[in-house]
Amino acid sequence: MRDSTDGVSADEVAKRIGVSRVTAWRYLERLAEDGVVRRHTDYGKTGRPKTRYQWR
């Protein structure tokens, strides 16, 4: 996550560390609330926008 210039999604984190997407999302949201990571919304062409996370 620190090496990513455009951030990572909860799905990407989950696959890398071997946990469910929901578990990764919960931890990322907690880190965002604590100010450790920054969240931003990635609006693609179709479908639901993805939330991406970056280290501050």
Q: What is the pLDDT of residue 45?
A: 86
Domain hosting residue 38, numbered range? 8-55
pTM: 0.85
- pLDDT on residue 6: 86
Q: Which two tokens stand for residue 7?
A: 């951030």
Instruction: Tell me whether residue 3 is in a domain.
Output: no
Structural domain contains residue 1: no
Give the angle subtended at the CA of 40 by the CAs of 36 and 33, to the nearest 5°: 35
> What's the confidence (pLDDT) of residue 3?
78
**Total count of domains within the chain:** 1
Q: Is the pLDDT of residue 1 over 80?
A: no
Check residues 1 and 6 and name the one with the higher pLDDT. 6
DSSP string, 6-45: S-EEHHHHHHHHTS-HHHHHHHHHHHHHTTSEEEEEE--S
> Tens digits of per-residue pLDDT, 17-52?
999 999 999 999 999 999 999 999 989 888 999 999
